[in-house]
Amino acid sequence: MASDDLLGEDTSPQAVGRRGNVRIGLCSWSDPSLIKSKAFYPRGTGTPEGRLRFYALNFPIVEVDSSFYAMPDPANSVRWVERTPANFRFSIKAFRLLTGHQTPPQVFPPDIAAALPQLKAGKRNHYYADLPEEILDEVWRRFILAVAPLKDAGKLLAVHFQFAPWVTNTAAWRAHVEACVRRMAGHLVAIEFRNATWFGTERAAETLDWLRAMRVVHTIVDEPQGVGNYAHGVWEVTHPQLALVRLHGRNAETWDAKGLVASSERFNYEYADAELDELSRGIDGLVDKAFDVVVLLNVNHEDQGVRAARALERKQRRLLGQAGPP
């Protein structure tokens, strides 16, 4: 198929599941470990354009993680729209500054970086609370501008706020989360917490009710439990539009390890078939609770995510007695 044949056509795989509303994909189509493995991308897809076009022929959804590490560029969003079929969808991660993470000056656009206050001696990162309001306003403006081409094309499913592990269930951080939701008015917002205070003992119901009141999507996570800062895997839906499941693996040994060279080390996990059966049943339990159900694999050592995603697709079809794609 010629690359131009993708434009405007519904050539991505269809959603699966009992109601045909389950989209399964990866957290990034350009992870270095996946590319280096040569286990997914064939010859002739060695460019960013080639990889995205090929990915979109195999999966109907992808998470953009590059927007977390550096401020996204609207020109990239335009290219992503042009390189994917009409029925393809993106979930884009919010820029790290907005989610309470440490943010080095070099990941800001150059003109914003030049206007940043000088860091104190020995400090290498900026934090949201330390920046002037005018700079924060400009960061928000540019982030929303950067995702606008995806939104305008109908390809932006959600903006995903993965808050830092030290974002705890306190009045100050709740106020910050609420401010983020207000800033993103008009967008579907998904929220992922990585601290046990949000869904720990006697807090889950309160947190879920708060998310429902804000009309945001609770992110269901599968990850090691009881290790470092972690999120409880609470399989609940807070928005009728979307149920979002992110599968981080269950590698307790690397989850909170220090000094890792790449994220593929932390999320190096091979889901066992029995674990995928368990997850598939949980996913099937969501299909009547939301219009869209999205499952994103964040196990990313070589092609682990690809194989787990395809296995989940097969299991979802098997629940209906459906055959897989040719």
Q: What is the 3-state secondary structure (H, E, C) of the chain?
A: CCHHHHCCCCCCCCCECCCCCEEEEEECCCCHHHHHHCCCCCCCCCCHHHHHHHHHHHCCEEEECHHHHCCCCHHHHHHHHHCCCCCCEEEEECCHHHHCCCECHHHCCHHHHHHCCCCCCCCCCECHHHCCHHHHHHHHHHHHHHHHHHHHCCCEEEEEEECCCCCCCCHHHHHHHHHHHHHCCCCCEEEECCCCCCCCCCCHHHHHHHHHHHCCEEEEEECCCCCCCCCCCCCCCCCCCEEEEEECCCCHHHHCCCCCCCHHHHCCCCCCHHHHHHHHHHHHCCCCCCCEEEEEECCCCCCHHHHHHHHHHHHHHHCCCCCCCC
Q: In the prediction, which pLDDT does 241 show? A: 98
Q: In the prediction, which pLDDT does 89 show? A: 98
Q: In the prediction, which pLDDT does 175 show? A: 98
The CA-based angle 242-33-251, given to 5 degrees, is: 65
**Backbone conformation region of residue 129, classed left if phi is above 0, alpha if psi is from -120 to 50, else beta:** alpha
Q: In the prediction, which pLDDT does 10 show? A: 73
Treating both helix axes as pointing N-terminal to C-terminal, what angle do 133-152 and 74-82 enclose, rounded to 10 degrees? 10
Residue written as token pair 């992808």: 62
- 149, HSE (Cβ side, Cα atoms, 13 Å): 15
Q: What is the pTM of this model?
A: 0.92
CA atoms of 4 and 9, how far apart (whole Å): 10
Residues 6 or more apart whose Cβ sits within 8 Å of residue 291: 21, 240, 241, 242
CA atoms of 120 and 105, how far apart (whole Å): 13
Q: In the prediction, which pLDDT does 242 show? A: 98
- Show the low-confidence residues of the chain (pLDDT under 50): 1-7, 323-326
